[in-house]
Amino acid sequence: MSRPDGIQHDRVAGEKLRLVNLSLQLPDGRVLLDPINATVSTGERVAVLGGVGVGKTTLFRALAGIWPFGTGRIEMPARARVMFLTQRAYLPIGTLREVVSYPAAADAFSEDKVCEVLRLLDLKRFEAHLHDTSPWDQQLTDDEQQRLTIARVLLHEPDWIFMDDATAALDEAMEKQVYEILMSRLPTATVVSLTHRDAVMEFHTRRWRMSTNDEGRATLHPI
C-alpha cells in the first residue's frame, strides 16, 4: 500500500486493471493529471499516446507503484505476473546471461532458450558472450539494450507488460518486429504501451490520447 494520503495500490480479485479517480500530482501538490477512471481487461493491448513531457512516464511510475504523489486508487489483478519496461534499460553488473535473465537467476532459463530469444531479436552475435562480464550499459547501443529487455520479457512470459517508450530507440522496422514477436509468442498477455509514436497504434486494440488542457494539466481520453 502507498502512504494513506497518496495513491492507493490494491491487488484484487478479477481480471482487470482499474484506475479509480486517479489524479497525479507533483510533490508540492500541483496537479499533473486530472482525475481519470479507466479499465484494462486481461488480454487487451492498449496504447497511451502522448508527446514528450505530457506526463506518460509519471503515469507509468504510478502504475509501477513508485510514484505516490496524487489521489485515487490503482487496482491490479491479484494473480497477475507483471513486468515494467522503461525507456532506459536497467542492466545490472554481471554476465550477459545474468543481465538477460534479470530479475531471475542466471540459470533460471536454459542456455538454448536464452539463445533462441536473442536470435529472435537480431542479437545473435551476443550468444558467444553470455558468460562474459562487462559494463553492458556501456557496451550495448541504446537499441540493443531495449531489445535485450524485450528478450527478458520473452523469457519470463508475464501476464501483463507495461512499456514506457521501451521501443523508442528502435527503428520502425525493428519496432514492428518486436510487437509482432510479442503478439506471436505471448498472445494472451495484456500490453499497455505508453509511447509518443503513432506507428505502434496498429498493434493495439484500444488507444488513448494523453494531452495537456488549457489549464496545463494532462487529460486522458480514448481515440
Do strands 16-25 and 70-77 pair parallel, antiparallel, or not at all (unpaired)?
antiparallel
The reported pLDDT for the residue numbered 1 is 38
Residue 113: partners with Cβ closer than 8 Å, 6 or more residues away: 155
The reported pLDDT for the residue numbered 2 is 39
The reported pLDDT for the residue numbered 3 is 46
C-alpha 79/C-alpha 161 separation (Å) is: 14
Starting at the edge strand found earlier in the chain, the sheet holding 206-212 runs 8-12, 70-77, 16-25, 31-41, 218-222, 206-212, 45-49, 190-195, 160-164, 82-85
**Mean pLDDT per 10-residue section of the chain, whose length is 223 residues:** 71 95 94 95 96 92 96 96 95 96 96 98 96 94 97 98 96 96 97 93 93 89 87
The reported pLDDT for the residue numbered 5 is 67
Q: What is the pTM of this model?
A: 0.94
CA 129 to chain centre: 27
